[in-house]
Amino acid sequence: MTAFRFIAAPLLALAAGAACAQAAAPVTATASWARATVQGQRSTGAFMTLVAREPLTLVGVASPAGTAELHEMRMDGDVMRMRAIDRLELPAGQPVQLKPGGHHLMVMDLKAPLQPGASMPVTLTFRTAAGEQRQLALQVPVSATPPKEAGAATAPAGHGGHKH
């Protein structure tokens, strides 16, 4: 039994260390927010600025609030189109904005309305240059408008800035 303790304890410590390393992605997320919803609305967007300390690729997003995907909005002729994408490159040290009208997180099939002042759990999954996966767990504040620190770059995009 004593031999088991001497073997099991280091293995448990190693496993715990590996779990902590998996959870610590070398990236920071700032000015995060998710757009509040109204009763009956089944989807929303989440936005933030990501800065990676090393080259990373955002390869996944998950939330218990609903089905989460990474999306982009892009002009196709005269029409703005939104589509899911499977990855987003994050160069080391360069801010990458997830914002309305551009790359963003889309959360669909919401289980409940998102009220201003609440928060939505989101887990981002990244792939390193070595092929390892890292995760960043966030509590994204829910708001009808972007936070002040998000600046004008993440202001809600009504009609892409064109006038009627």
CB atoms within 10 A of CB 21: 10
pLDDT for 26-46, tens place per residue? 999 999 999 999 999 999 999
pTM, two decimal places: 0.77
Give the model confidence (pLDDT) of 52-99 as tens digits: 999 999 999 999 999 999 999 888 899 989 999 999 999 999 999 999
Query: pLDDT tens digits, residue range 148-159?
Result: 887 644 444 443
Q: Which residues pair with 127 in a beta bridge?
A: 57, 133
Domain 26-146 in CATH 3.40.50.1860: no
- Residue ranges of the domains in the chain? 26-146
